[in-house]
A and B are shown apart, each in its own frame.
Chain A
């Protein structure tokens, strides 16, 4: 668990959140935790494909030649030196 202090929050935003918290029978902190938690869950990648696509934008994807060279298929000297 960690803490988050939010400075310069608009008064009207805070009031709206307080009203929302009362409606949901939660404290203001609990309400904000709930809101932040659901937003974080929505924006987290749902699967490994989405995660990788977020990290590697189209311009960074490997060409077939690059991918083949990454595979180690053309590494010249992989053998251990015991021979």
Chain B
């Protein structure tokens, strides 16, 4: 299962999509894609901060449809603990893993998925022994 990070979702919704990302998307069966509740919140933030009106309503509806089609992984208690652990271990190495990113990484790892992202903030995670199973896919060109 591929877990779409917020940047992958917004890329998918973009008028000018990255070529490599578009080709990758075209090669995936729809039922292999997932995302996380964190990205639902970030996309909701992105849409609801727009000026109220027809465009915002349309985007709101389309996003709801998209999230009904994708598997949306929840954040349960083990994931939440894992997220905090990730932030702490990255901190010890002098790196900052944002709270939202940590929850996305933890939910992805907990569900055995691969995170689709171009965000380099995730790169350090797999260097920790206990997070070696955290896999990233970056199809951007």
Contact = CB atoms under 8 A, between A and B. Distances in A.
Interface of A: 45-52, 55-56, 58-64, 66-67, 69-72, 75, 78-80
Contacts of B22: 49
Contacts of A78: 98-100
Given A60-B62, A66-B46, A79-B98, A47 B27 contact: yes
A46 B29 CA distance: 7
Nearest to B25: A49
B13 A62 contact: yes
Contacts of A51: 30, 69
B72 interface: no
A61 B10 contact: no
Interface string B1-45: 000001101111111100000100111111011000000001101
A79 B16 CA distance: 30
Interface of B: 6-7, 9-16, 22, 25-30, 32-33, 42-43, 45-47, 49-50, 55, 58-59, 62, 65-66, 69, 87, 96, 98-100
Which 5 pairs, one residue from A and one from B, show the smallest C-beta to C-beta distance? Answer: A70-B46, A61-B15, A70-B10, A49-B26, A48-B28
* Most A CB within 10 A of own CB, among B7, B14, B29, B55: B14
A56 B25 CA distance: 14
B30 A60 contact: no
A70 B43 contact: yes
A69 B96 CA distance: 20
